[in-house]
Structure 1
C-alpha cells in the first residue's frame, strides 16, 4: 500500500503550506502594487494608457518568475542566502523577459517603467521576505515550526553534528533523539541490540542531554515513535552500502527529509554538486579559486562601500575625536600592525580606545587572559578608556578601517585581521585564513565575536575563505548593522 503520512509529517507540511501561502500573498501584493505605481508614473509623465497597461504585464511576468525559480521552496525558508539570491535572479530574469516581449511587439519607451518598477519591486520583495523571516524566527524561538530531528551515527560523529547544530543559531532544528552505532564496530547498535552493551538512555553534549532511542537499524520505527520529521545521518554503518537507500524507502510517509552529514561539507558545502553518470551519483567538489572575476567584483563592492562609508564617517569623526581627547591623553587614531593576505603586514587604523601605555600593561595582565587560543581578551580590561568602552560596544572604533579597505589592504567582509604574534602560532590549516584579505566584519563578528572559542572562530573563518559569495557578503553587512545596535561579545 502507498505509505501514509504520520501526524508529525502532516503537521510540518501543513505549516509549510501556510507559510508558502503567506509568501505568495505578500509577493503578489508588492509586485502588483509597484506595477500600479509604475503605471501611474507613466500616465502622469504623459504616457498613453497602453503604455501604462504594460506595467501589468511586467507584474505578471515578475510574479511568474518568482514561482518558476522556486523562491518559496521549503528548503530555503527562513535561513541562508539562497532565498534572497533566488529573488534577485527571478527579478533580473523577469525584466529580461519583459524587455524581450517589448522588443517583439514594438512597445516603445520602456525605460521609465523599468527604472521605476525594477528597483522598487526588487527591494519591496526582498523586504517582504526579510520581514517574514523575522516573524518565522520569532516563532521558532518560541518552539514552533521546528523540524523534529533524529540524529543517527557513531557517538563521535553524532557529537560533531550536534556541536555544529548548537553553534548554528536559529537553524529550525530541534533534536528530539539519537540513535547510535557502537564506536568500535559500526553496524552494531549501542542500545537495544542483541550484542549491545548495557543500554545508555542519554548522551551529554555540552550542557544538553539527548535521549538515545532504539537501534540504528530501526530508525524508521524510532522516528515514527518519537514524532521526528527529519533524519540526519552523521555516519554510515560498515558493510552496508545500501543503508541510505533502504532507509529512505522505510521513511516514506514518516519523514520529510533525510540529510547526510559529512565533515567535508564543513569546508566545501556550497561547492558540492551531484553529477550522475549512467545512474552512478558522483559527488563533485569544485576546487576554490582566490583570484578572477568574482574577486574583482568583490574589490569593486569594497571600493563603493568604503567611499560611501568614509563620507558618512567624516560627519561623526569630530564628535568621536572630541570624546576621545576629553577622556584621556593621546592621539585620536591608533595604528597597529596586522597581517593581511598572503602574510603581508599592513598598518590597521582604528579610533583609540585604550590608554597610551596599553602595550606596556599587557604583560602584567597576561595571567588574567580570558581569550581563547592565541587571542588576548579581557571582559573588563583596565586599559580601555570610558569612551573606548562605548566605541567598542557599538563597533564604532572599527570605522576608520574603511580607509584600509579603500587602499586595498582590507576588505569590507573577511576573516579577522590577526596580530603578527598570533600568526606565529598558526598551524598549516589556520594559515588558510590568509588566502584572502581580512575584513572589517565577517562571520565571526555576526556570530558572537569574543564570545566564540578559538576553534569556532577558525571554523567560521575557514568556511568563509573557501565558500564566500557576493550575496553572502551583502547579508553579512546587513547583519553587522543589526549587531551594532544589539552588540554581543563586543568588549
Structure 2
C-alpha cells in the first residue's frame, strides 16, 4: 500500500480516507457552501448520518460534510449569541425572583403582620440585582465557553456565585444598615439561583437541539496515531450533543511511531473522517478544514506536544490534550505540578459522607412528594392493569442493589403472568444476544395496557416506593438481576457501589436501544462521577427522554 502526502492532505491507495477536495487544492469543504451541503454532489439529498464500523449507519452522528463552515468566526458568533441568551436568562431570573420575594414578603400571599414599608429600596434592588448578578457570574467565569453546554461545572459555578453573592449582600446590608428585610433576601436569592439554573437547563436543551442539527459545533481536528486517534473520534461521534464535529485527522509522526500503528490497521478508515495531513503539516490541515479546536491523543510524546503547542500560539485555535483516563470527569481531576511537570491528581469517587446523606434525603423527599401528588394516577394505572388481564397489578422481582444486597423491586405488571415461562422459547429472538439482557421489540408477552405503560415509562412508577424505602435512588445504574450479576466481569461489579436508580445515564441515552457494553460504560461513568448537580441534569433530561419515547419497548 503506497502513501502520498501533498498539499497538507494524505491519500492512501485502497483506503476510504480520500479527502474531498475542490480544484485539487486540498480543501475538504468549499468555504461558501451552505451548512449541510459541503462536499455533496449537486442535487444530492442532505445526509444526517455517517458510516460507522461494519458499514452501519449510526443515528445522531454528524458527518463532516453536514457541519456548517466558517471556522473561528462562525464559532465566535454562535458562542456570543449563546452567552447573550444565558445573560438574558440570568437577568430575567433575578427580576422574577425579586418580584416573587417582594410579593411573598409583603403581599397578600403571606401575612407577616408587618406595617406598610417603603417600596423604594426594593424597587432599587429589583433594578440593580440583575446587573450585579450578571457581573458576579461573569467574574466567576460562569459564562466561559469551556464550561457551557456539557457537564456539571456550569451549574456548580452558578451555585458558587449565588452563595458568595448572597453572603456579600448580607454583609453589605448589615454594614450599611439598609432597610431590606432579611426574609426578602432569603427568598429572593435562592429563587434567583433556582431560576438561573432552570434557564441554563433550557438554554442547554436548545443548544443540544441545534447541535443535533449540525449547528453550533466546534470543528475539531484530531491529532494522533492509530487506535488512540480512533478512540477520540468514536467518543466524539458517540454523543452529538457534546459539540464536537471531527472534520479531520492529523497523523502523529513523532519518533517511535511505526507503520503498523496506522489507522488502516485499526479499523479507523470505517469512521468516515478523512486524514488531512501529519503533525508536520498541522497548520495546513487547520486551514483546509476550518478547524477551531485541536484535540491531541494521549500517546503523543512530550517534545512533539510542546512543539505543536508553540506552533499553534496566536492561531485562535483551542488546544485540548486527552488523558488516558476515560469517563472520569472534571471535579475529580486537578493539576498538581511536581518538579515542573504537570501531573493529573485523581480524587476517589465520593460514595460516602455528607453528599451521600444529602442524596438520600433528596431521594426520599422527592419520591414521597411524587407519590402523594400522583396517588390517584398510581391507583388508576394499577386498576387498569388488574382489570384488563389476569394477575396482580404489581410485578415483583428480586434485583441486586448497593453492595450486592438483594431487594424486591416493584413495577406495574406489563406482561402476561406466564411471561417468564415463555422466555425460553423466545431466546432466539433476543435482540441483545451480545450481552446479558433480554430485549426484543413487539414482545408477544406484553399486554395491551403494558404496551401503553412501557411506551410512556409508567410501569416504572412503583419503583418510587423502592426509593422511599431506601433500596433504590432516583438516579443510578440500572438495577440488575441476580443472574446477570453472577455473570459480571470484575470491572462491571463497580456498578454495585451505589444504589440502582429509577433513571440514569442509560435511561437518557437510548435505554433498550443501547448495546450491553455501552450500558455498562454509562453506568460506570455515573459511579465514577456522580454528584447532586449531575442527578439534577439527568432527572431533567429524563423528562424529555420519556416524551421522545426513545428505546421504550
Comparing 105-114 and 454-463, the one that deviates more: 105-114
Q: What is the CA–CA distance in structure 1 between the aligned matches of 2:354 and 2:482, rounded to whole Å?
A: 30
Q: What is the CA–CA distance in structure 2 between the aligned matches of 1:175 and 1:68, rounded to whole Å?
A: 32
Q: What is the CA–CA distance in structure 2 between the aligned matches of 1:450 and 1:133, rounded to whole Å?
A: 25
1:100-111 matches, within 5 Å, as 100-108=171-179, 110-111=181-182
The alignment yields a C-alpha RMSD, in angstroms, of 2.7
Q: Secondary structure at the match of 1:210?
A: coil
2:340 corresponds to 1:279: yes
Q: What is the CA–CA distance in structure 2 between the aligned matches of 1:270 and 1:278, rounded to whole Å?
A: 24
Distance 1:24 1:197, change over 3 A: closer
2:204 corresponds to 1:142: no
Q: Secondary structure at the match of 2:277?
A: coil
Deviations 1:11-38 (A, max 9, x none): 3223323332333344334424543565
Aligned twin of 1:347: 408
Q: What is the CA–CA distance in structure 2 between the aligned matches of 1:105 and 1:328, rounded to whole Å?
A: 71
Shift of 1:116: 4.0
Shift of 1:226: 1.8
Distance 1:420 1:469, change over 3 A: same
Shift of 1:241: 2.1
Distance 1:480 1:108, change over 3 A: same
1:281-360 matches, within 5 Å, as 281-360=342-421
8 Å CA contact retained: 2:385, 2:449 = yes
Count residues in correspondence.
475
The one of 380, 384, 394 aligned to 2:446: 384
Q: What is the CA–CA distance in structure 2 between the aligned matches of 1:309 and 1:7, rounded to whole Å?
A: 48
Deviations 1:71-108 (A, max 9, x none): 11111222222222222222222111111111112234
Shift of 1:157: 1.4
Q: What is the CA–CA distance in structure 1 between the aligned matches of 2:262 and 2:539, rounded to whole Å?
A: 51
2:92 corresponds to 1:21: no
8 Å CA contact retained: 2:349, 2:527 = no
Give the unaligned 5+ runs of structure 2: 1-68, 108-114
Q: What is the CA–CA distance in structure 1 between the aligned matches of 2:537 and 2:263, rounded to whole Å?
A: 48
After TM superposition, the score normalised by the length of structure 1 is: 0.89
1:88-487 matches, within 5 Å, as 88-108=159-179, 110-181=181-252, 186-188=256-258, 203-205=268-270, 208-237=271-300, 240-267=301-328, 270-277=331-338, 279-371=340-432, 372-487=434-549
Deviations 1:381-430 (A, max 9, x none): 11111111111111111111111111111111110010011011101100
8 Å CA contact retained: 2:402, 2:500 = yes
Deviations 1:28-61 (A, max 9, x none): 3442454356567777672224542345454443
Q: Secondary structure at the match of 1:214?
A: strand
Aligned twin of 1:3: none
Deviations 1:283-305 (A, max 9, x none): 11112242111111111111111
Comparing 330-339 and 56-65, the one that deviates more: 56-65
8 Å CA contact retained: 2:248, 2:275 = yes
Distance 1:39 1:420, change over 3 A: closer
Distance 1:288 1:441, change over 3 A: same
The one of 38, 41, 46 aligned to 2:116: 46
Distance 1:22 1:367, change over 3 A: closer
Comparing 53-62 and 301-310, the one that deviates more: 53-62
8 Å CA contact retained: 2:225, 2:263 = no
Shift of 1:272: 1.1
Aligned twin of 2:144: 73
8 Å CA contact retained: 1:417, 1:438 = yes
Q: What is the CA–CA distance in structure 1 between the aligned matches of 2:97 and 2:520, rounded to whole Å?
A: 44
Deviations 1:320-356 (A, max 9, x none): 1222123210000111010111111111011101110
8 Å CA contact retained: 1:415, 1:438 = yes
Q: What is the CA–CA distance in structure 2 between the aligned matches of 1:460 and 1:410, rounded to whole Å?
A: 18
Shift of 1:255: 4.7
Comparing 34-43 and 272-281, the one that deviates more: 34-43
Shift of 1:436: 0.9
8 Å CA contact retained: 1:268, 1:285 = no
